[in-house]
Amino acid sequence: MTTNYRDPVQLAQALIRCRSVTPVEGGALTLLEDVLRPAGFTCHRLTMTEPGTPDVENLYARLGTGAPHLCFAGHTDVVPVGDESRWSRPPFSAEIADGVLYGRGAADMKGCIASFAVAALDYIQAGGLKRGSISFLITGDEEGVGVNGTVKVLEWM
């Protein structure tokens, strides 16, 4: 079955299946870049570093250059799963049971990223971006030490 990345549930499932345990990117940022770039977003992959901490990959994607500028911020990294045998469902399976999506990051925050990404893409496709810009600042360092993510991307900007 082909994944429809314009469906927020299917995009959330694809993101959950990425093993993006801090500080590993796990394919989640690559997936988002692959979804946003065809819609016209200019994507920047930024690896940030700080002595004594692991390097972290981040994604900044933007469509448009003017104001107003709406930026969605989020993270694709998740905390370690611990003993996977203690989970009622595999943490990276993105299984749906009784209408509930299960998996590491479903609520915090891969499901949220999928929702706002698809909403933005739908808005753009419907002709909604006539002025201004929309961007995504997605880090892989929210669940870790938190020094190689959002703050450094904002400084880069």
Q: Write down the catalytic residue from 25, 77, 141, 143.
A: 77
Dump pLDDT digits (tens) for 109-130. 999 999 999 999 999 999 988 8
Per residue in 18-74, pLDDT (tens digit) is 999 999 999 999 999 999 999 999 999 999 999 999 999 999 999 999 999 999 999
Q: Given this model, what pLDDT does residue 69 score?
A: 96
E strands present in the chain: 42-48, 56-63, 69-75, 96-97, 100-101, 133-139
Cβ–Cβ < 8 Å for 118, 23: no
- What's the residue count for the chain? 157
pTM across the whole model: 0.95
- Find out whether 95 and 102 touch, Cβ atoms under 8 Å: yes
CA-to-CA dists, residue 103 to 26, 50, 52, 85, 94, angstroms: 15, 30, 31, 14, 5
What pLDDT score does 101 carry? 97
Q: Is 142 annotated in the active site?
A: yes
Residue 95 catalytic?
no
Catalytic residue, from 25, 57, 141, 142: name it: 142
Q: How confident is the model at residue 1 (pLDDT cuts 50, 70, 90)?
A: low
- Are 77 and 141 contacting, i.e. CB atoms less than 8 angstroms apart? yes
Q: Residue 2: is its pLDDT beyond 80?
A: no
φ, ψ of residue 150 to 5 degrees: the values are: -55, -45
